[in-house]
Structure 1
Amino acid sequence: MSARAGARGPVDAARAEGSHGTADAVDARTAAAAADGRGTAGAPRLLTVVGVPAPVDAGGRSPSGDAGYWPAMNPGLVDALDGPVLVENDANLAALAECAHLALSGTDADHLAALLMGERFGAGLVVDGRLLRGADGGAGEMRFLDAVLGDRRGADGVAALARRWALEALEAGETSAALSALPPAELGAKDVFLAARDGDALARAVLERIGDRLARIAMILSSLIAVDTVVVAGAIAEAIDPVLEHAREALPRIGTPPLPQLRASSLGRDVVVRGALELALTRLREDPLALLATDPVQDPQPPTEGNRTS
């Protein structure tokens, strides 16, 4: 059995020619990933799992919304790919991976929020050991932050916030030996994190602001749905420790006990893929005969030593 999260790399919606162009790009990348989803022995593919940055309902479909971005990211993938297909929100898959990982270490993971927070915040929510989905799969969408935080871009993730707040500070006349010399169009989150590590005051202030925002988001989730653990997942987790330090310091000022525990994921940038594998294995355990009764999808090219995928 082989499962893979499709369209793993970013698709630039701004450069695609409208939602149809973006949908075509997603279709192409997902089909390519699925075609490469063979087992080590060239076994037929029983199930394909696709993770998308959009709400997904129980039938694998995404609603219209977010200026057409959601249906562009999931343009009917459940019907477009061969064989049995599961389409799931990427943050939900991250939450499944984090729960499985924590359970292996004997840590309770029945009340957990997994945050994907690179360019935008998204959350996979687990309450009482079950994944929350909501109407149209919208649980975990963070659009409410625009209103709660008084910021029309309240759902911006860490990378977007680091760029935006650093540029705003520079435009306001603050100085930074590390960042002032960079062309504004080239200043990135990595530059801000590196400058903060080297003691740059402006960059450190930006990370403190991000930590404060993360603490507020964690407190909202803890108060609203009683999660006791908030995990920052995905590629950003590798660099998030300075932000988490500020967030942990801010929590007692923002809320009252019980306060959520803040963690950085150790699963790396492939956390969504790991979640896809967890979902596939769970489905196989729940109803193996249903999958085995379907006609497995044969890969068009048999595996060789040169193209075999583990």
Structure 2
Amino acid sequence: MSQTPSPGPAGSSQLIRQLNAQRVLGCMWGREPSTATELMHATGLTRATVLTLCRDLTEQGWLQVSENSRQAGQYTKGRPALRYAFREDACHVIGVDAGLHQVTAAVANLRGVEIGCATRPSNPEGSEAPLQPAPERRRTILDTIDAALAQADLTHADVACLVIAVPAPVDSSGDSPKGLNAFWGLMNPELISLGAEHGWDCAVDNDANLAALAELDLGSGAAEDSFAVILSGERLGAGLVMDGSLLHQSRGGIGELGMLDLVQGVESSNGLGWWARHLAREALKQAPGHAGPLGAVTPEEVTSEHVFAAAEQGDLLALEVIDQLADRLARICVVLAGLLDLDRILVSGAIAPALTDVAARAKHKLAQYLYAPWLRIEASALGADAVRRGAIRLAVDRIKDQALPGAPGA
């Protein structure tokens, strides 16, 4: 695989050729095998131009000659036409969700289809334990990547791009701010350098941003939707999409929710998973010997999973916790939707499947605080896969932009 040549001077035949190559490759990237005639109709280029560019892109490793029309069952008479196919295995990408408690890495082809995945614990002692030192966290991420490559039966040489998602703000250089929050530096200990050893293109981005990118890729809303994706496990963070485009800022601070410390009824940027555990712990301490399902665990042992499972069984104590979580989520939605006039808010992350009822209750409570009858509050269907899928989407986009250096956004 090689990049298409950079455009020459404006007005030159080389520039025109390059722009046409971009048009053909961009068309083929998400397309099934096609004949020159089909590409002519799709691109508006002449047959001679299409055939020449397909030959060039085949030599560069982006396309391959597929079966001809007779083999594909579409031949009627005359000489069968060649069919060209996009090489989805021209190179591979890796998306990493480097979370607080675990690291998940997935290897994907250029259509974003995962072919290998691995998970390793990154804070195995639990939420209250000290965080991994920076060298250990870097090693955990690299070990997880190697395990995913082994599952995919690939080597480092088969990879072109690595994208790492972290629970911290990330600036345009891939670094997280220092001095404001020590947690950020521990989550992103210069991870942008991890791809250099193997010659990979590498990017680091905020996990909520990438979860929002995955929702865009899923296409569950209107093309020009404005929405927020809230990662809501241990800590809160938001990825923001306005009019169908993910918002970024060079310092990386968009979507940081530390200001929730100042919001009445929220007073914290801790996530809904953290609050479920904390509220249940306090409730159990005040109701010793509770007879419901939640009473089967001690205050010290209770987890958010216990709370949601007990609520499904009708445990009154657990249902009270669910109601408090819903009120907290409603107030968070007031802050985001009241400021940005959003169409919808999605709660995402591994905890999302358990938050369907919380989201529904939050929507009901919202009317107490804000007039926004159009606002949808929902649990994301992507769940624990959201961040990883967003990282893969960004990695594929980066390869595409490098292959087509004159394309919009390159």
Find the structure with the greater CA-based Rg.
2
The answer on whether the counterparts of 1:56 and 1:63 sit within 8 Å (CA) in structure 2 is yes
Q: Identity of counterpart residues, as a percentage?
A: 38
1:27 corresponding residue in structure 2 = 138
Provide the rounded CA distance (Å) in 1 between the counterparts of 2:189 and 2:158. Answer: 25
SS for the counterpart of 2:320 is helix
The TM-score, its normalising length taken from structure 1, stands at: 0.83
Describe the superposition over 1:195-252 as per-residue Cα deviations: whole angstroms up to 9, x where unpaired. 1111111110110110111111112111112221111111111111111121111111
The answer on whether the counterparts of 1:91 and 1:115 sit within 8 Å (CA) in structure 2 is yes
Letter of the 2:233 partner, please give it: G
Q: Which runs of 5+ in 1 are unaligned?
A: 291-310
Alignment of 1:139 onto 2:250: no
Provide the rounded CA distance (Å) in 1 between the counterparts of 2:265 and 2:362. Answer: 19
Q: Which runs of 5+ in 2 are unaligned?
A: 1-91, 103-120, 406-410
Task: Label 1:192 to 1:109 Cα distance change in 2 as closer, same or farther (>3 A).
Answer: farther
SS for the counterpart of 1:4 is strand
2:122 corresponding residue in structure 1 = 11
Higher percent of residues as strand: 2
Describe the superposition over 1:228-287 as per-residue Cα deviations: whole angstroms up to 9, x where unpaired. 111111111111111112111111122112542112211131211100111112222223
The answer on whether the counterparts of 1:2 and 1:37 sit within 8 Å (CA) in structure 2 is no
The answer on whether the counterparts of 1:6 and 1:34 sit within 8 Å (CA) in structure 2 is no
Describe the superposition over 1:124-163 as per-residue Cα deviations: whole angstroms up to 9, x where unpaired. 11113332233621111111111113655x1121211111
The answer on whether the counterparts of 1:52 and 1:74 sit within 8 Å (CA) in structure 2 is yes
Greater CA deviation, 220-229 or 167-176? Answer: 167-176
Describe the superposition over 1:70-94 as per-residue Cα deviations: whole angstroms up to 9, x where unpaired. 0111111112332210101111110
Describe the superposition over 1:6-29 as per-residue Cα deviations: whole angstroms up to 9, x where unpaired. 53516338644x7xx521222012
| Cα deviation, residue 106, structure 1 | 6.0
Alignment of 1:285 onto 2:400: yes
The answer on whether the counterparts of 1:7 and 1:29 sit within 8 Å (CA) in structure 2 is no
- Determine which of 41, 51, 68 is the counterpart of 2:182: 68
1:205 corresponding residue in structure 2 = 320
SS for the counterpart of 2:94 is coil
The answer on whether the counterparts of 2:194 and 2:202 sit within 8 Å (CA) in structure 1 is no
The answer on whether the counterparts of 1:6 and 1:29 sit within 8 Å (CA) in structure 2 is no
| Cα deviation, residue 179, structure 1 | 2.5
The answer on whether the counterparts of 1:158 and 1:210 sit within 8 Å (CA) in structure 2 is yes
For residues 14-163 of structure 1, the aligned pairs below 5 Å read 15-16=129-130, 21-36=132-147, 38=149, 44-65=158-179, 67-82=181-196, 83-102=200-219, 105=220, 107-108=222-223, 110-134=225-249, 136-149=251-264, 152=267, 154-163=268-277
Provide the rounded CA distance (Å) in 1 between the counterparts of 2:234 and 2:369. Answer: 24
Greater CA deviation, 120-129 or 272-281? Answer: 120-129
The answer on whether the counterparts of 2:285 and 2:299 sit within 8 Å (CA) in structure 1 is no
The answer on whether the counterparts of 2:266 and 2:331 sit within 8 Å (CA) in structure 1 is no
Letter of the 1:179 partner, please give it: L
Provide the rounded CA distance (Å) in 2 between the counterparts of 1:67 and 1:88. Answer: 17
SS for the counterpart of 1:5 is strand
Letter of the 1:52 partner, please give it: V
Between the two proteins, the alignment pairs up a number of residues equal to 284
Task: Label 1:226 to 1:14 Cα distance change in 2 as closer, same or farther (>3 A).
Answer: same
SS for the counterpart of 2:159 is coil
Alignment of 1:190 onto 2:190: no
1:300 corresponding residue in structure 2 = none
The answer on whether the counterparts of 1:119 and 1:156 sit within 8 Å (CA) in structure 2 is yes
Provide the rounded CA distance (Å) in 1 between the counterparts of 2:179 and 2:342. Answer: 27
Letter of the 2:363 partner, please give it: R
